[in-house]
Every structure is written in structure tokens, then in C-alpha cells.
Amino acid sequence: MIHIFKIAFRNLFRYKRRTLLTGLLIILGMVMVIVFSGISNSFKGMMIGTITDSMMGHLQIHKKGYVSSIDNLPLHLNIAANGIAELRRILDDNDAVEAYSFRIKLGAMLSNFEQTTNIRLTAVYPDMERQTCPSLTDRIEGVTREAEHFVQPGELILPENLAQGLKLQNGDDVVVVATNKDGSVNAVGLKVAGIIEGLLGPSGRDGYMHIHDAKELLRITGDEINEIAIRLNNLDALKKAHKQLDLELQQFKNSQDKPAFELHTWAALSPFSSIATIVDLLIITVKIVLIAIVLISILNVMMMSVYERVSEIGTISAIGTLPSKILALFLAEGFSLGLISTIIGNVLGVTVLYVLNLLQLTVSFGRMKDILLVTSIAPVELLTITVIVLLITVVSSFQPALKASKMQPVEALRHV
């Protein structure tokens, strides 16, 4: 086998210019795929991280039917105290769950005493919320105390678009008015304690208040929530954890003997999951382009190689080289070209990603401004691209190699 590769390597360098051009084409394709995958995967991962770590968590539990009317933020689909206790037990016993946060989501009216507007609010226990969404406080300006206490009773974290519109700043007094589930209206006075930047998605423009204030506002006496956000130890195990938790939740039935709760992944609730899918499709498209480049260039160079060496093939066949070895000689030639190009392509691609990181490029997405682009590519992704390219080189070399191995020596020797 070593001798086959030795001959293959020497034959590659026999046609230096052609080998160089073909190799460059493959290298360029490899670099394109690595850079595109590196940037887009990093962007996707960063967006998913921001959405899950600062807003949604990885999974969410609601009472059955809540999500279908989530835009109305209904209060009649709250989870009562006994349900909370059962869910707490299940979540505490699950090793995949790192943290969870109880929430009451509500729609209200916000007044600065001059103007009134609508506001969506998420009422939380700040310590639970901080553990479940550790990056949430990174989005809040003006909070100086410990992150675990980012919102206290009597305080409101205001979304930046409303703060700008109502010209509100930290320390300003506001009134929040809401209708409870019985239809009666109540109000509480709160102080603006921070301004939170907006994010893409259904909760991306929510304000935050302490859950005690929400209970007072909504005249809730016992334990009552309408959302549980869950953070997993490992986001990569999302599917498995979702399946396992979903099975456990099936045991709870409502009065109609149907499941009492519903469990959703962040992707099912966030519109960004569609964008993530599009990004994945774009990466696949670029890979297909690379495959086409490799396929056509290797096929072309190997066909040329066979046609130019017909007489040589006749000679080695005449002196007794078996067809299988002639096949191996040409396959090794295509494979060697692919291997050299792939190694150089990998090195160059990773170098380009490194240089991009040194340049500290930033991107904006929706209301998220100046996000630092930290590009990276997983070793497994590099390995996948490499294996694909090498497989394609072998596949595209096969037809010319087979043609060479099937040549009749007497005809090949006649070739000039």
C-alpha cells in the first residue's frame, strides 16, 4: 500500500500546475465551509445562549392550553399550590435539571402619571430566576446590588423601549394597573429599579417585578404561578430531558382526564428556532457546493490523468499488474489530492476564524446591538467536513480508476 501511495504522490506532482489548481479549488471550498460554519454556528449558538440564558430557560411548563393563548397572558390557567408542589418534587428529583424558576406572567397598564401604556410583565423570585437565567442581569442597566436580588418588592425592571417612550429613569415612580382573573382591577405603586434591553421573542420586551407584588396586584392569596422555566445541566441533552420530563408530566390529569400540564422546549416557543433552522440549511447548502466543487474537480483531474497515461496503464497491465492494483493506484491518487487539500484547507480555515476573532467583529440582530462575534468550529464539525471531502474524492476518482483498471493492455499499448 505504501508503494501505491508513493507512486500516486509522484504522479500528482508530475502535473504540478493542474494539481495545484485543483488543490486550490478544494482548499478554497474547505475554507469557505469552515469560515461560514464557524461564523453562522457561533452566531446561532450565541443567539440561542442569549435567549435561553437570559429569558426563556431551556424548557417551560405551563398548564394545558396556556401556550395556545399565550399572547393574552391568561390568568385563569394558573397552576395552583398543589400542582406547584408536585412539579417542584419532580424537578428536584430530576438530575438533568440544574435550576427552575416560578413565574407569573401578566399584562398590565403602566402609568408615569402623565401617560399610560400597555406592558407585559414577568413576576419572579429573583434568586430562582437568576439561577435559571444567569445572563438576565447582564441585560439590565442600573441595578447595582447582587444579581440574586436584582428585583425586590416595590421595584420594577422596565423594558428599554417603554422607558424611552415614557421618559422614565431609575428611581422614578410608576403605577401598574392590572385586572385579576375575577375581573376586578387593582393597582400598585412601584419604583423603576433598572432598564432591561430588548430581545427577540415573545418575552423579549417583558418587564420584571417581584412575585410578591404580582400576587398583591392580582389579589392572589396562596401559591399560584402560570409558568415554570427550567434550566438543564446540559443543553445538548435537551431532547432526552424533554422526553423524560414529558413522560413524568403525563401522570397529571385534569378534570377531563387529559394531561394537566404541557412542556415545551425553548425552540417550540421562540421564533429564533426558525432562523436557526435556516442557518442550518444554509450551512448544508454551502457544504453541497463544496461537495460539487470537489466532485467535479477531482473527476476532471482524474479523467485527464487516465487519458494521458493510457500507454502507461497498458505497460503496467502488460507486465502483470492486476486490475485491482491499477484501480487502487488511481484511487490513491485522487485520495491523496483530497487529503493534502483537506489538511491545508483545515489549517487555513481555522486560521481565518482565529484572525476574525482577533479583529473583534460585532454584529447587530434585531434590537440586540453590537454583539461580539466569537467564531469557533467544533472539532467534530471539522472532522465531518474532512470525512465528507475525502469520501467524495474517492467516489469521484472511482469512475476514472475503474476505466483504467478495465483497459485491455493490447489496446492501451497501441495508444500514442
Partner 1 sequence: MALIKLEQVSKFYETGETRVEALKDVTLEIEKQHFVSFVGPSGSGKTTLLNLIGCLDKPSAGIVYVNAIRINDLATREAARFRGEHLGFIFQNFNLIPVLTVYENVEYPLIMVQNVASNQRRERIMHYLEAVGMLDQKDKYPGQISGGQKQRVAIARALVTNPKLVLADEPTANLDHASAFKVIGLMRQMQHDLKTTFVFSTHDPKIVKEAELVFTLEDGQMTNQESTNPPNSH
**Residue ranges that bind partner 1, judged by CB under 8 A:** 3, 7, 10-11, 14, 311-312, 314-323, 325, 408-410, 413
Q: Which residue, 47 or 328, is less far from partner 1 as judged by CB?
A: 328
Instruction: Taking each helix axis as running N to C, give the angle between helix 379-405 and helix 272-308, from 0 to 180 degrees, rounded to the nearest 10.
Output: 30
**Cα–Cα distance, 233 to 304 (Å, whole number):** 55
Q: Which residue, 256 or 324, is less far from partner 1 as judged by CB?
A: 324
* DSSP codes of every residue in 360-411: T-EEEETTEEEEE------HHHHHHHHHHHHHHHHHHHHHHHHHHHT--HHH
Is the separation of the CB atoms in 413 and 311 below 8 Å? yes
**Cα–Cα distance, 197 to 160 (Å, whole number):** 5
Smallest gap, in angstroms, from Cβ of residue 19 to partner 1? 13
Q: Which residue, 395 or 413, is less far from partner 1 as judged by CB?
A: 413
Smallest gap, in angstroms, from Cβ of residue 316 to partner 1? 7
Smallest gap, in angstroms, from Cβ of residue 325 to partner 1? 6
Smallest gap, in angstroms, from Cβ of residue 333 to partner 1? 11
Cell of 37: 460554519
Smallest gap, in angstroms, from Cβ of residue 338 to partner 1? 19
Residue of 53, 47, 17 whose CA lies nearest to 232: 53
* DSSP codes of every residue in 219-241: T--S--BSEEEEEES-GGGHHHH
What own/partner pairs with CB < 8 Å and gap ≥ 24 does 150-154 have? Answer: 150/126, 150/194, 150/208, 151/124, 151/126, 151/193, 151/194, 151/208, 151/209, 151/210, 152/126, 152/193, 152/210, 153/210, 153/212, 153/213, 154/190, 154/191, 154/210, 154/213
Smallest gap, in angstroms, from Cβ of residue 328 to partner 1? 10
Q: Which residue, 6 or 369, is less far from partner 1 as judged by CB?
A: 6
Q: Which residue, 12 or 232, is less far from partner 1 as judged by CB?
A: 12
Q: Which residue, 389 or 401, is less far from partner 1 as judged by CB?
A: 401
Q: Which residue, 58 or 309, is less far from partner 1 as judged by CB?
A: 309
Smallest gap, in angstroms, from Cβ of residue 330 to partner 1? 14
Residue of 47, 45, 46, 43 whose CA lies nearest to 270: 47
CA distances (Å), origin 183, targets 70, 160, 179, 180, 219: 18, 29, 6, 5, 11
Q: Which residue, 11 or 41, is less far from partner 1 as judged by CB?
A: 11
DSSP three-state, residue 111: strand
Cell of 172: 422614578
Smallest gap, in angstroms, from Cβ of residue 319 to partner 1? 5
Q: Which residue, 281 or 322, is less far from partner 1 as judged by CB?
A: 322
- Burial class of residue 235 (count of CB atoms within 10 Å of its CB; 0-12, 13-18, 19+): middle
Smallest gap, in angstroms, from Cβ of residue 413 to partner 1? 7
